[in-house]
Chains A and B, each alone.
Chain A
Amino acid sequence: MYLHPEFETLSRSEIEKLQLERLQATVKHCMNSPLYKKRFEENHLSPDDIKSLDDLRRIPFTTKQDLRDTYPFGIASVPLEKCVRLHSSSGTTGNPTVILHTQKDLNEWANAVARCLYMVGLRPNDVFQNSSGYGMFTGGLGFQYGAERLGMLTVPAAAGNTKRQIKFITDFGTTALHAIPSYAARLYEVMCELGVDPRRDTKLKTLIIGAEPHSEEQRRRIEEMLGVKAYNSFGMSEMCGPGVAFECQCQNGLHIWEDYYIVEIVDPDTLEPVPDGEVGELVLTTINREAMPLLRYRTRDLTRVLPGDCPCGRQHKRLDRMKGRSDDMIILKGVNIFPIQIETILMQFKELATDYLITLATADSNDEMTVDVELSGFCTDDYGRLQALKREITRQLKDEILVTPNVNLVPKGSLPKSEGKAVRVKDLRKPF
C-alpha cells in the first residue's frame, strides 16, 4: 500500500528529524545562490544559525516577485551546466518565472508523483491518460514521468481535442485519467453527445483532478457522472509541479510530502504562523531540491492544516482543499468573497450544470456581481418556474456571500469553454 514505505510510514518525530537534516543541508547549499547568499548576509544570518526547525522562521520569505526580479537564473544554487530542464510560467505582468531542474530533481519529482498515484491505488497494470497541456505547463511532463516511473502505460494525450481524447479512453482501455475538473465535466458532456456511457463503454475508475479550485460538491458530481473515484491533486510550478500534496484513498485532505517540503501556514497580513486548523497562506520550503531550492516560498494559496490523524496511517500533514488563492479573492462592497463559495452553492442545484462565470462590473458608480450559470439538461415551459429557480439561487448566494448578485440562467454550452483552466471570474470594474 506504500510505494516508499521508508518515507511514507515515518512517525512525526522521524519526519521532523529528517526535515531538520535536509533543511540544514539545503540552507548550506543555498549559499551558492546569488539571491540567498545576499539575503543571508543582509540579515546577518549564517547557515549555522539553523539549529532547529523553529529557526526556519529566522529566514526571510521568498516571493513570486523575487523569482521575477532574478529572472531567469538568479536564484539557482548550481551552475547552469548541471541543469537539464527548465519550466517557465508566463506572467501576465512583468517577467515570467523560471524553475530549473537537475537530473536528480527530475528523478525526485517523478518519485513524488509516482508515490501519489500509487497511494490512490494505481498500479503498473493501469493505463494512465494525461489530458494536461504539455510543454511549459508542468502538469504534462510532471504526470508523464511520474506515471512512467510507477510503470503504467502512459498516454500523453495532452490538452484539447475532446473527441480524440474519448477515443483514446475507449480504444486504449484507459483506467486512470488526469484532467482539470472543468474539463472532466466537459468530457462527460461530449461522451453523452457521442452516446458513450462512461460506465459501460470505458474502463475508467480513477480520476486525478487538480490545478483549479473546486468544491466537494463538484468532485462528487464528477465522480457520479463518470463512475470513478476522483482524487484531488495539488502542485505548483515553483514546487516542480504536480506531486506536492495529494489525497489518499480516504479523500479527506491532501497529504503533503514532508520529506520534500516544510509546511507553514501564515496569516497573509501579519505573516505570523496560525495554529493548525486555521486558514492562512501556504508557505513552503523545499528540502529535497538541488538546482533551485526555495526557502519559505509564499505560494499565495490559502488553505489550512487539518488537525488529527488520517485513517490511512500516514503521518505526513494533510492540507485542506485549497480555498482559492489570496490573489483570487474578490472584494466587492468591502466583502471578501472566494469564487469557490459561489461554486459550492451552485453545485447544490441539480437544474444547473457545472459551468459558471462571475462578472464584476460597475453600473451607476455601484459595483455589482453577475453570476451566469448554465442549466443542465433541465428545461421548463413555465416562466414562473424559471423565476422561482433564479430567486432561490440568488437567495442562497446572498446568504453565503452577503451581497446580492444578479443571477442569469443561460443555456447549456453557452459559456465560453476553455481547454485550459476555466475562466470563472471577469473583473470589468472601473478603477476609482
Chain B
Amino acid sequence: MTIQQISVFIENKPGSLVKVLEVLKQAGIQIIASTIADTVDAGIYRIICSEPVRAYQVLHDAGFSAMLTDVLALVLDNEVGRAADALRILTESGINIAYLYSFMLSGKGILILRANDADRAREVIMQNNLTFVAEKDLSGWV
C-alpha cells in the first residue's frame, strides 16, 4: 500500500525544475504526479513516477541530492466527500499527516500522504477496507 516517491532538493532559482524534468525525460521516465511548495531559498520537489528506483538512480547520477520515500497512496471514488471520509478515519485513529497531495487518474482520485506513523496508518487502512495503490500498479498507469 505504500509506493515510492522521489524527493529532490532544489534551489528556488529559475531553471531548477527544468533541470530535474529534463533528466527524467532523457531517461524516458513518465511523471504521474508532482508537487512543490513555495519556499524562500530551497525546496523539496516530490515526484511520483513510473519507475521510481531508476528515476532516483538517474537523478543521483546527474548530481542531484535526491532520496526515495515511502508514501501511502489511497484510491478514492470520484464523489463528493470521499477525501473527507478517508482523512476522518485516519485522524480519529490518531494519525497525523505530514503532507498530502492528490490527483485524478482514470476517473479515480488518488491521495498521496505521508503519515507520522506509517505502520499504524497501514493498520487503519486495512481495518477500514480503504482502497490503496501498490507499487506494481504504478507501471500499469502509464
A residues with a Cβ closer than 8 A to B are: 193, 375-383, 386, 408-414
Contact = CB atoms under 8 A, between A and B. Distances in A.
Contact of B46 (A376, A381, A409, A410): A381
Interface stretch (B23-31, B60-68, B83-91, B101-109): B60-68
A193 B16 CA distance: 20
B64 A411 contact: yes
B69 interface: yes
Interface stretch (B5-13, B123-131, B134-142): B5-13
Interface of B: 5, 7-11, 13, 16, 37, 39, 41-42, 44, 46, 60-61, 63-67, 69, 98, 114
Most chain A Cβ neighbours within 10 Å, of B5, B41, B67, B114: B41
B8 to A, nearest CB: 7
22 contacts: A193-B63, A375-B9, A376-B65, A379-B7, A379-B65, A379-B66, A380-B44, A380-B67, A381-B7, A381-B67, A381-B69, A381-B114, A383-B39, A383-B44, A386-B42, A408-B42, A409-B42, A410-B11, A410-B42, A411-B11, A411-B16, A413-B63
A408 B42 CA distance: 8
Nearest to B114: A381
Nearest to A385: B44
Contact of B67 (A376, A379, A383, A409): A379
A377 B65 contact: yes
A375 B65 contact: yes
Contact of A411 (B39, B65, B67): B65
A413 B8 CA distance: 14
Contacts of A383: 37, 39, 44
A379 B63 contact: no
Contacts of B64: 411-412
Nearest to A406: B41
A379 B11 CA distance: 13
B46 A412 contact: no
A381 B9 CA distance: 8
A413 B60 CA distance: 12
A139 to B, nearest CB: 28
B11 A380 contact: no
A375 B114 CA distance: 24
A410 B114 CA distance: 24
A381 B115 CA distance: 12
A69 B61 CA distance: 52
Nearest to A375: B65
Nearest to A376: B65
A386 B44 CA distance: 10
B21 to A, nearest CB: 15
Given A379-B9, A381-B46, A382-B98, A409 B66 contact: no
A379 B98 contact: no
A411 B46 contact: no
Given A193-B61, A411-B64, A412-B63, A379 B42 contact: no
Contacts of B37: 383
A193 B60 CA distance: 9
Most chain A Cβ neighbours within 10 Å, of B16, B37, B42, B64: B42
A409 B114 contact: no
Contacts of A410: 11, 41-42
A380 B114 CA distance: 13
